[in-house]
Structure 1
Amino acid sequence: MAVTGKDLIKVMEEWAPRSLAVDKDRIGLQVGDPQAEVKGVMLALDVTEEVVDEAIEKGANWIVAHHAVIFRPLTDLRTDRPAGRLYRKILKHDLQVYVAHTNLDAAPDGVNDVLCDQLGLKERQVLLPTRSSRLQKLVVFIPKDHHEEVLRGLARAGAGWIGNYSHCTFNLDGTGTFLPEDGTQPYIGKQGELARVGEVRLETVITEEIREDVLEALFAVHPYEEPAYDLYPLDLPGAVEGIGRIGKLPQPMSLKELAHQLTKAYRISGLRMVGDGEGLVSTVAVLGGSGGRYYPEAIKGGADVYITGDLDHHTALDAAAEGLSLLDPGHHVEHLVLEKVREKLTKSTSLTGVPVFVTQVNTDPFQYIVG
């Protein structure tokens, strides 16, 4: 069976759901048909004409990008200009462009976690919380001989996570009763006869976002024609999600040492530094992309140094005045997430057989010149 764009989008949005994106962000399918077959996927930070040419050469008819190909409102589609020429080429070659931006920044194992991984940051927390998952309790009644199968099926769908513990459930033996009426095909019992069955009451926790997937998994593995289950809203805080991370270095080091480590970890030839190069730093805030306006949150979180891109002169002065060191490795370091995206897509059984490529085109417009 052919893999369609809907399959690809589902895999991406199970990892980086749209609900994680900041308000009015340009995400999702921007060009093309969600029903189009996925013959190959090209992963890129930016969609440029060179990236499109590479996708065509590789036979990839889907591009998954971090930055929107349509970012500002279009005022024309003149094909004698670069933007119009790019859109014409995308459409002419029947390419589809899907964008995961701030939702991929915020997602677990997304942009900011990848940037933290390169530095070995420990005890990391969200820098800019944007939401907390809403929790629900699922209670389902299962015949004893199917208890283990249902439990594992729910866990595979994401139910039962508490912190870093999976498969969290509570199970209680009891007796279930039911009377199959006309037109039923009961797994246990007979029409017109009251059945008493040894059952297990299984309780587990789910987030509202995965409820439909969990129920789909429940119906797929539960033997009953009509499984009995309940859902209760919980007045408990779920996992905090948001943009950026703050954590601890494996060991304190000077700001200048961290800057040198950053160039190797992020594979860059240079960066901008604000602060005392000999001063020790331990707590590090990280926000991929343009995060200058969020430096007060880094200070509030107790960071010694804030790593982000596109810092302007006045933001650097203000942050330095408040004692916060800064490292600006540029915006393009977000490209480090592309290997993680490739890993997620190639491991998905929904996309088996689909070739996934990471672009070899360097879309960083900046070069570092040493005087």
Structure 2
Amino acid sequence: MFARGETVVQLMEKLAPKHYAVQDDKIGLQVGTLRKEIKKVLIALDVTPEVVDEASALGCELIIAHHAVIYRPLAHLRTDTPAGALASALLRNDIAVYISHTNLDTADGGMNDWMAEALELEGRGVLEEVHTDKLFKLAVFVPETHAEAVRNALFQAGAGWIGNYSHCSFNVPGTGTFLPREGSEPFLGKPGKLEQAAEIRIETVVPDSVRKAVVSAMLKAHPYEEVAYDLYPMDLKGRSFGLGRVGKLASAESLDAFAERVKTALDVPFVRVVGAPDKSIRKVAVLGGSGSRYIRHASFAGADVLVTGDIDYHTAHDALAAGLAIVDPGHNAEKIMKRKVAEWLGNKLKEQKYETEVFASQIATEPFRLK
């Protein structure tokens, strides 16, 4: 059985939820339709004519890309222009394009974590906060016989996390009363007779990002026909998600040695370096894509170096003045996402018994070369 397009995207959004994206970012379905069976998916950094040809040759019905194929407003859709010709090729081959951009950058276990892991950074934190998970308190009343089963269902769905502690809950015994009415099918008691039951009030914390999944798991595990529960927002800050990562190397190394590390880890042919060759590097900030505006963020975080792309001349001077080194591997260093997303999504589809295949694009979309 092959997954439908809507299902593939729903799985992708478990890795990179759309609400993690920065405001006005061009994400989501941009070309074609998801209302079809998907036998093959291609993961790409950019959607170019060569990538479309690759997808067509493989027989892919869907491309999931990092960079938007429609980024600037289109005044027209003429097939004698590059943008129009690209759209025409996609539509002619019935290939849909779905974009996962800053939501993938921000996601836990997404783009910036992959880059930080490649550089072997330890004790990672967020460079700039974009989204904070709201917290809810869930209280549910469960018969004593089923309290453990319901608790386990809540925890497995993502409830009960407080900092680095999981399976957190508070349990209070009590007596529940109810009178089943005509047409009811009570788990305990009989219709028309007032019933008293020994119950446990289970309280736990639920992040907004898994709220629906937690409630669904609770209702499925609960034995009652009608489940009594409360769910209300808390005035507490949940987990933060954001762009970029800050972490430390296991030991300090020179800037030039670190630049070589970046070239190897991110598989790029060259890097641009700002700073003295022998500058000691231990604390590192990394941000995939274009990071010129994050110089202050990296300096404020106490980083010795910022690894990011598209650094301009004046920003480089600003970094030097601030005592911050820069290693610029280019925007195309984000190509790390092709293999990572393909592996993640492919595994999720297999777990759900779908035969849909996922491929990482082999097309190089780096526009620059050294001469």
Structure 2 length-normalised TM: 0.95
Which stretches in structure 1 are left out of the alignment for 5+ residues?
none
Give yes or no for contact 1:345–1:351 (8 Å, CA) kept in 2.
no
- Please name the residue that 2:110 is paired with: 110
- Please name the residue that 1:307 is paired with: 307
SS of residue paired to 2:240: strand
Using the alignment, how far apart are the partners of 1:274 and 1:191 within structure 2? 78
Using the alignment, how far apart are the partners of 2:51 and 2:214 within structure 1? 38
SS of residue paired to 2:148: helix
Give yes or no for contact 1:7–1:350 (8 Å, CA) kept in 2.
no
- Please name the residue that 1:268 is paired with: 268
Post-superposition shift, 1:362? Answer: 0.7
Q: Quick one: which of 348, 351, 354 aligns to 1:352? A: 354
Using the alignment, how far apart are the partners of 1:41 and 1:150 within structure 2? 37
Q: What is the aligned-residue RMSD (CA, Å)?
A: 1.5
Using the alignment, how far apart are the partners of 1:202 and 1:340 within structure 2? 38
User: Which shows bigger deviation, 152-161 or 330-339?
Assistant: 152-161
Which stretches in structure 2 are left out of the alignment for 5+ residues?
none
Post-superposition shift, 1:55? Answer: 1.4
Using the alignment, how far apart are the partners of 1:248 and 1:333 within structure 2? 20
Q: Residues 157-306 of structure 1: matches in 2 within 5 Å?
A: 157-306=157-306
Any idea what the Cα deviations from partners look like across 1:326-358, whole Å, max 9, x if unmatched?
Answer: 000000111112222123212323473210100
Give yes or no for contact 2:106–2:130 (8 Å, CA) kept in 1.
no
Q: Residues 307-346 of structure 1: matches in 2 within 5 Å?
A: 307-346=307-346
Q: Residues 58-207 of structure 1: matches in 2 within 5 Å?
A: 58-207=58-207
In the superposition, relative to structure 1, how do residues 346 and 173 fare at CA in structure 2: closer, same or farther (>3 Å)?
Answer: farther
- Please name the residue that 2:37 is paired with: 37
Using the alignment, how far apart are the partners of 1:222 and 1:8 within structure 2? 30
Any idea what the Cα deviations from partners look like across 1:149-187, whole Å, max 9, x if unmatched?
Answer: 222222232212223433322223332221111111112
User: Which shows bigger deviation, 47-56 or 145-154?
Assistant: 145-154
Give yes or no for contact 2:39–2:60 (8 Å, CA) kept in 1.
yes
- Please name the residue that 2:365 is paired with: 363
Match of 2:248, as an amino acid? K
Give yes or no for contact 1:346–1:352 (8 Å, CA) kept in 2.
no
Match of 1:27, as an amino acid? I
Give yes or no for contact 1:15–1:107 (8 Å, CA) kept in 2.
yes
Give yes or no for contact 1:309–1:328 (8 Å, CA) kept in 2.
yes
Any idea what the Cα deviations from partners look like across 1:13-39, whole Å, max 9, x if unmatched?
Answer: 222111111111000111122322222
Post-superposition shift, 1:133? Answer: 1.4
Task: Say how many residue pairs are matched.
Answer: 369
In the superposition, relative to structure 1, how do residues 33 and 351 fare at CA in structure 2: closer, same or farther (>3 Å)?
Answer: farther
Using the alignment, how far apart are the partners of 1:340 and 1:193 within structure 2? 58
Match of 2:19, as an amino acid? S
SS of residue paired to 1:214: helix
In the superposition, relative to structure 1, how do residues 297 and 367 fare at CA in structure 2: closer, same or farther (>3 Å)?
Answer: same
SS of residue paired to 1:238: strand
SS of residue paired to 1:243: strand
In the superposition, relative to structure 1, how do residues 251 and 351 fare at CA in structure 2: closer, same or farther (>3 Å)?
Answer: farther
SS of residue paired to 2:84: helix
Match of 1:316, as an amino acid? A
Using the alignment, how far apart are the partners of 2:292 and 2:239 within structure 1? 26
Post-superposition shift, 1:127? Answer: 0.5
Post-superposition shift, 1:2? Answer: 4.7
Any idea what the Cα deviations from partners look like across 1:285-337, whole Å, max 9, x if unmatched?
Answer: 11100011110111011111011000000100111111110000000111112
SS of residue paired to 2:161: coil
Using the alignment, how far apart are the partners of 2:92 and 2:344 within structure 1? 29
Using the alignment, how far apart are the partners of 2:176 and 2:318 within structure 1? 67
